Structure 1
Amino acid sequence: MDLIPAPRHLKADDGAPGPWSFRLHPGTRIAADDPAAQAVARRLRAELSAATGFALDACTEEQGRLLRQTITLRTDPELLAAGGPEAYALAVHEYGAVLRGGAGPGLSHAAQTLRQLFDPRIYRRAPLPGADWVLPSVRIEDAPRFGWRGVLLDVARHFLPKADVLRFLDLMAAHKLNVLHLHLTDDQGWRIEIRRHPRLTAVGSWRERSMVGYRSADRRDDRPHGGHYTQDDLREIVAYAADRHITVVPEIDLPGHSQAAIAAYPELGNTDAVDTSALGVWTDWGINPNVLNVTDGTLRFFEEVLEEVLEVFPSEFVHLGGDECPKDQWRASPAAQARIAELGVDGEDGLQSWFIRHFDRWLADRGRRLIGWDEILEGGLAPGAAVSSWRGYEGGIAAARAGHDVVMCPEQHVYLDHRQAPGGDEPIPVGYVRTLEDVYRFEPVPPELDGAAAARVIGTQANLWTEFMTNARDVDYRAFPRLAAFAEVAWSDLPRDPDERDWAGFERRMAGHYPRLDALGVEYRPPGGPHPWQRRPGVAGRPAEGP
């Protein structure tokens, strides 16, 4: 039935419409009694009504049993006990469909599977002529492999308007992905309104120009770029995501990747080592030497930033970056050297560890948990902190063995800004070649972890860094169809040995999934290569050789 991600258990007839099929029609109702079911039913009604033109009025389960042409949604304590809140079961018969979920998230996933059982035109936002809304007779039982099935969306390097973020959340929900890691700050832009520090957006949210392609070409687009989200914008994004049972995890990068903040407030930089008053928001890509100083004033500044972040984002985890922090300015800074001596830490690396652990404790005191890139392991972490393993598996292996929760997102496998094929047709070719098949064969849990350490791998994440993606069309191209393969890796109970996975079967199911992406308006990379307008001839990239 071309379902992606593949469910754990499916029993169906031959899939052809027959006497046991259910056909959606103008009199069909949607029944839901408990509040969690009613919330999912409202969204399902909106999605199905838009495509079919049918009202799909609400009713109670008792009314639905009398009507006998009903889609029924309910939460099921037995499913919750057996499979958790994201588990679901779906049954279609001649009188309708019954969707059960362990809780609201499971029901939401059941609704997405139901949509996939229809003609792909069900994903359109207005009715088209000739559609026959028939559902095959089927029984499905399903639950996810990982609790964290994430995507990083970098809105710092290139800003995405709010509407594009909301659309991306819809695409995530359609693929049963449940964590949006929103990368909000970097050297090239600060994207979140902070009321106590308004210059972060007044100055830090825009840059004079942007580098086009990789730095080797020394090419610039002399057009200002910028934008930011108000706190109400972000509350709307968080609420929209929550309605789709997606958690938004914010990232505020520190102590590196901070030139936009320093451009807004020069006193945050190492003023005794460099003239920070001359710095603007960075217009290049790469690793920036301008990092935060380690004074008490800077600690207080970012505590105030994080107080407002916590007001907007209710997520358990807050991502604080912690990666790619050059130490040259700290070596040259008398204040930084005095702090090292005062604390008795092991040089500049120990200073960075102390800086991160300060905010680790600060978040823990407020009932939140720090997560950061695997560099934060250097110098030790508090027990509750978690690690995003990006420099391969090694950081995640070390973190899991040390008792830390891990999200596996190694750049060699699931950095979706990396090129999808060799050759000159790929737009701005970056990093390793990672085809659709490569992503499908990615295994998040390395075999060398024993059972206890493997259980620390709480999930996996695909990352979309946007240095070379200027708008939503570019994001679509880099993300899809590979994000569909990643969604199956994160959700489905696939063989742990990548070589044993049924790539041919997945490829066949993708043939049925492309029309859904078409109906959703996703400008994905076609299997045969990019359309002419998706190429960027002459724009230099940074291809790498890798595994």
Structure 2
Amino acid sequence: MLPLPLVPSPAHIEVSGDAPLPLTGAGITGDPDAAAHLRTLIAARTGLDLPEGDDIVLAVTDGGPAESYRLEVSATGIRITGADAAGLFYGVQTLGQLVRRDGERWVVPSVRIDDAPRFAYRGVMLDVARHFHDVATVRAYVDRAASLKLNVLHLHLSDDQGWRLELRSRPALTARGSTTAVDGAPGGFYTQGDYRAIVDYAASRHLTVVPEFDMPGHTHAVGLAYPDLAEAPVTDVITEGSTPVAGEAYTGTAVGFSSLRVHDEATYAFVRDVFGELSELTPGPWLHFGGDESLGTAPEDFALFVARASAIIADLGKTPMAWHEAGAVARLAPGTVGQYWGFVTPTDAAPHHTRAIAERGGRVVLSPADAIYLDMKPTADSPLGLTWANGATSLERAYAWEPSAVIAGLPEDAILGVEAPLWTETVATLADIDALAFPRIAAAAEIAWSPADGTERTWESFRTRVGGLGPLWTTLGIRFPALEEVPWTT
């Protein structure tokens, strides 16, 4: 028998020989938020409008690990219980994946599932700086991520090409630094109301927003708004892409050339202003300050900046978060979360820097670029995406890695979780997002959620289960590419 089309694979599942439960006329009772999500999901999948009734019971019960749930389906009814609201929501998503057509009926097979996540942090990142993506697009991506039990949305809100969040303390950032994007595409920014709407919508789907202002590098747009804070571009570090000019908007894709003025106290006043205001807007615990690819900043200047910026964020009562390069800094604020973006088989000092973060009391989010960067081409002939991370990244390669094996000497309890970034040099629309994220986002979700030793945690099982989700994704409006690696259900 083919495995049920469940992604991520549950921790424990029992399939009984009982008859399936028909959905027509089945009524829902219990938690109103979960009931609303389930009605929306079932309507999109089947066209059925489920009434009130006691055939499907949804409840939060005390006990069990955070975000865990139990789903029981028999021929007479369905009961989903969550240890908390998030667990109940994830049980609803699992039920949505189980719905299938049986002749003229829509049914749910008789199963019992007990499920809980492996990692607490299961994220996706969306770069809105290279290409700006409006609130509606971000909300759609939140829905996609939540359906796969991902629970963090990392927003990359600033880069050389644009600054994307209104700050009342520094209005020139959006007035002058937000107007363009890669290849001269239209820029844009989120008002504070927009940002709050994103945070609230994500929370309604149990995602925490992690905002990032990248610095001291990736700051050319800051220089457009506040020239006195930025060094002149260091163009000899550019290996490809167009050359930046101080004071002119940058629409290319080169990296590493920009830097804030590390020895100027005005820079740290700026850091306090922007992260102070960001802290007030952000209920989640993490503020990401970047720290990657600072090729135009001398190592000793980088160390000075990272130490001071991480301390500023910690003093705000938030947990600093940075890319793994920050681990080279001895005075990095204790407890800073590091995000590893090297390869599955590391090639440089990244593992040393990552371990150093953990040794200072921080934890690590793993984002190995050659497995989990969703902006890499899924096939060599894909019209979208990049190839710098060991060429095209197939779905099988996106699935075939184990978080505990990436950084030698890093204990599993130091791993906070997994995040799949989507950089947007080639990504301008929601259709572009779907074309690159799916189905590889499902691999990231399973690696982050499912037990490493689960019976269904195999490539053959995964590709079959993903194929079974094709009809659901289609009815949800997800424009995924039908990769030849997957036996798609039609």
TM-score of the two chains, using structure 1 as the length reference: 0.79
The counterpart of 1:175, out of the listed 148, 162, 172, is 148
Corresponding position: 1:359 with 2:309? yes
Distance 1:489 1:304 in 2: 37
Letter in 1 for 2:416: I
- What amino acid is aligned across from residue 163 of structure 1 in structure 2? A
**Greater mean deviation of Cα atoms: 281-290 or 434-443:** 281-290
**Are residue 486 (structure 1) and residue 444 (structure 2) matched?**
yes
Match of 2:92 in 1: 111
- Aligned partner (choices 25, 28, 31) of residue 29 of structure 2: 31
Are the counterparts in 2 of residues 120 and 515 from structure 1 also a CA contact under 8 Å? no
Supply the distance in 2 between the matched residues of 1:413 and 1:166 (Cα, whole angstroms): 25
1:49 offset after TM fit, Å? 4.0
- Choose the corresponding residue for 1:434, options 378, 393, 396: 393
Q: Find the residue that maps to 1:11 and give its secondary structure.
A: strand
Structure 2: runs of 5+ lacking an equivalent: 236-243, 486-490
Task: State the Cα distance separating 1:133 from its structure 2 match.
Answer: 2.4
Deviation at 1:39, TM superposition (A): 2.5
Q: Of residues 8, 12, 15 in structure 2, which corresponds to 1:9?
A: 12
Displacement, 1:182? Answer: 0.5
Equivalent residue, structure 2, for 1:545: none
SS at match of 1:160: coil
Mapped to 2, the partners of 1:30 and 1:370 lie a distance apart of 42
Does the residue aligned with 1:476 lie in a helix, a strand or coil? helix
**Cα–Cα, structure 1 residues 240 and 318, in superposed 2: closer, same or farther, change >3 Å?**
same
Q: Which amino acid aligns with 1:365?
A: D
| Alpha-carbon distance in structure 2 between the residues aligned to 1:292 and 1:448 | 31
User: What is the root-mean-square deviation of aligned Cα atoms in Å?
Assistant: 2.7
1:447 offset after TM fit, Å? 6.7
What per-residue deviation string (whole Å, max 9, x for no partner) do you get for residues 340-389 of structure 1? xxxxxxxx323222222222222222221001001111122222111001
Matches within 5 A, 1:20-59: 20-26=19-25, 28-32=26-30, 37-52=31-46, 54-58=48-52
- Three-state SS of the structure 2 residue aligned to 1:46 is helix
Partner of 1:446: 405
Could you say which residue in structure 1 is the equivalent of 2:463?
507
Of 280-289 and 405-414, deviating more is 280-289
CA distance in 1, matches of 2:101, 2:315: 48
Q: Deviations 1:114-168 (Å, cap 9, x if unpaired)?
A: 10111389xxxxxxxx862211111000111111111111010001111111000
- Residues 51 and 520 (structure 1), Cα distance of their counterparts in 2 relative to 1, 3 Å cut: closer
Cα distance per residue 1:407-455 (max 9 Å; x no partner): 0112122112112233x455454222211111111211127655x8321
Secondary structure, in 3 states, of the residue corresponding to 1:77? coil
Corresponding pairs, count: 464
In the other structure, the counterpart of 1:308 is: 277
Which SS does the other structure have where 2:70 is aligned?
strand
Equivalent-residue separation in structure 1 for 2:100 and 2:454 (angstroms) = 32
- 1:522 to partner: Cα distance: 1.8
Residues 273 and 375 of structure 1: CA distance in aligned 2, closer, same or farther (over 3 Å): closer
Preserved contact between residue 400 and residue 454 of structure 1 (Cα < 8 Å): no
Give the match for residue 333 of structure 1: none
Matched-pair contact (CA < 8 Å) for 2:164–2:188: yes
**Equivalences for residues 65-80 of structure 1 within 5 A:** 70-79=55-64
Distance 1:94 1:365, change over 3 A: same
Q: Which structure's CA Rg is the greater one?
A: 1
Aligned residue identity for 2:214 = D
| Of 394-403 and 239-248, the range deviating more from structure 2 | 394-403
User: In percent, how many aligned pairs have the same letter?
Assistant: 38
Q: Quick check: 149-158 or 515-524, which moved more? A: 515-524
Whether the 8 Å contact between 2:365 and 2:419 is mirrored in structure 1 is: yes
Match of 1:519 among 459, 475, 478: 475
CA contact (8 A) 2:152 2:208 kept: yes
The C-alpha deviation readout for 1:264-313, integer Å capped at 9, x for no partner, is 11121137999x99512211112142311122212112211112211221
Does 2:86 correspond to 1:92?
no
Residue 139 of structure 1 aligns to which amino acid in structure 2?
A: R
Letter of the 2:415 partner, please give it: V
1:443–1:496 contact (8 Å) kept in structure 2: no
CA distance in 2, matches of 1:496, 1:403: 30
Cα separation, 2, equivalents of 1:429 and 1:465: 10
The TM-score with structure 2 as length reference comes to 0.88
* Deviation of the 1:54 alpha carbon: 4.8
Q: Which residue of 1 aligns with 2:336?
A: 385
Native 8 Å contact 2:338 2:357 kept in 1:
yes
Are the structure 2 counterparts of residues 384 and 524 from structure 1 closer, same or farther at C-alpha, using a change threshold of 3 Å?
A: same
Letter in 2 for 1:476: D
Q: Distance in 2 between matches of 1:355 and 1:156?
A: 22
Q: Distance in 1 between matches of 2:132 and 2:46?
A: 34
> Closer, same or farther in 2 for the Cα pair 1:410/1:95, shift >3 Å?
same
1:368 to 318, 332, 350: 318
